[in-house]
Chains A and B, each alone.
Chain A
Amino acid sequence: GENVEQHPSTLSVQEGDSAVIKCTYSDSASNYFPWYKQELGKRPQLIIDIRSNVGEKKDQRIAVTLNKTAKHFSLHITETQPEDSAVYFCAASNYAGNMLTFGGGTRLMVKP
């Protein structure tokens, strides 16, 4: 089955700096890669996703890049703000209705 690894497990940045979180996956059949933000005590919320026919996607301060050959994808957050502090999860799926396999999570702390 699919295996998703996520790094780093914790990340501390100064407000205004950029943050990058990286994930690798094992199953070449995976073609859908979402990123979720989970605040304390809340459900995971989808913040951005990318499909395997696209190399990069951007939504305001958030961008995701995908390298299918290397089987890795990354989340980039620019101009970080304290409200970006949360746990971020990457995931992978073959998007045919199959389940998501999650990475281990990254706790992002943005210091004001």
Chain B
Amino acid sequence: SAVISQKPSRDICQRGTSLTIQCQVDSQVTMMFWYRQQPGQSLTLIATANQGSEATYESGFVIDKFPISRPNLTFSTLTVSNMSPEDSSIYLCSVGGGGYGYTFGSGTRLTVV
């Protein structure tokens, strides 16, 4: 299965600022997924990122707040924009499907103060 490097692992940010999270995969993958895990909660899909096209966002998530880039088949970024304390969560990227299991990056623990 694919190995994903995600960074930063954690950050503390001021409200109103933005943070960009990066995920690098050790093999080419068609789809990458971005999840949010709020404290003590399950994982919620933010968006699906395909190379060469705009990301597909789930209900409740918008591009202006969570812009995503997918410049090639091994890399993606998620930006959390104009942050508020409610954005404090763990953000995870994931790849999978198409015949093998889904794997996750190590996560980014974001605290907004």
With A34-B102, A46-B101, A93-B97 in contact, is A99–B107 under 8 Å at CB? no
CA distance A49 to B101 in the complex (A): 8
Contact check, B42 vs A100: say whether CB atoms are below 8 A apart.
Answer: no
Could you say which residues of chain B place their CB within 8 Å of the CB of A46? 101-103
What is the interface residue range for chain B against chain A? 20 to 34
A43-B106, A46-B103 known; A96 vs B43 contact (CB < 8 Å): no
Residues on the A chain within 8 Å of B96, using CB: 97, 100
Q: Is the CB of A105 within 8 A of B103?
A: no
- Determine whether B48 belongs to the interface, using a CB cutoff of 8 Å to chain A: yes
- Check B104–A43 contact: CB distance below 8 A: yes
20 A-B residue contacts at CB 8 Å? A32-B97, A34-B101, A42-B107, A43-B106, A43-B107, A44-B92, A49-B101, A89-B42, A89-B43, A97-B96, A99-B33, A100-B43, A100-B45, A100-B94, A101-B45, A102-B42, A102-B43, A102-B44, A103-B42, A104-B42
Report Cα–Cα, A89/B101, bound state, in Å.
15
Residues of B within 8 A of A (CB): 30-31, 33, 41-45, 48, 92, 94, 96-98, 101-107
Q: Which of A43, A91, A95 has the most chain B CB within a 10 Å cutoff?
A: A43
